[in-house]
Amino acid sequence: MTDDAELVARVLAGDDRRAFAELVRRHQSMVRGLLRRLCAGDAARADDLAQESFLAAYRKLGTWRGGARLSTWLCAIAYRAWASQARRAPQPVPPEPAPPRPAADRAIEHHDLLRALSGLREEERSALALTCGLELTHEEAAEILGSPVGTVKSLVLRGKEKLRRLLAAEPETSP
């Protein structure tokens, strides 16, 4: 399989559209998945942002340095697209919580997770989506988020705890 660097080189050298399409196909699931988590399950908004992210990536492809993984670079573009839109647009009202059920007798499903993510602060959601969802290191996530590594670690811990409570339908005790 052709590696990402070779495909990027083909796009830059001759505007090879097939090579760029291959890059989109290869990374679309990861970018859309990240954005769905950031958008707390709003799939339509996430896919719009994913399209914008790939278009931005196409325009800026020459700035990608082979040192970083292309997937990490794409995630950074997607995160910035989401953050920029979140700054401009007001936060959507979180969906109504599902009727509480004891956590022990049910399997937590992915859509439960997406719903619960809307109950987190944006910073917590971003840190969780990047580190747990994409398995980036804390250092990589910190670079994308523009925050110190220690801050990212505490955001992840706090976000996880809050998510556990939300998924277990326990009442919030702290902000």
Partner 1 sequence: MTSPDPFDQLLAGAPYLPDEGFTEQVMARLPPPRRDPRARVLGLAGLAAAALAAATLPEALRSLAAALPATWLLSPPLLASWLCAGGALGYATSALLGGRAQR
Residues near partner 1, by CB under 8 A: 12-15, 17, 20-21, 24-25, 28-30, 32-34, 36-37, 47, 50-51, 54-55, 58, 108, 110, 113, 128, 132-135, 160, 163-164, 167
Alpha carbons 53 and 131: distance in angstroms, whole number: 20
Q: What is the DSSP letter of 130?
A: I
Residue 15 C-beta: closest distance to partner 1, Å: 5
Q: Which two tokens stand for residue 149?
A: 């590594």
Burial 85-105 (b: 16+ CB within 10 A, else e): ebeeeeeeeeeeeeeeeeeee
Residue 29 C-beta: closest distance to partner 1, Å: 4
Residue 37 C-beta: closest distance to partner 1, Å: 7
Q: Which is nearer to partner 1, 39 or 167 (CB)?
A: 167
CB 60 within 8 A of CB 124: no
Q: Which is nearer to partner 1, 75 or 90 (CB)?
A: 75
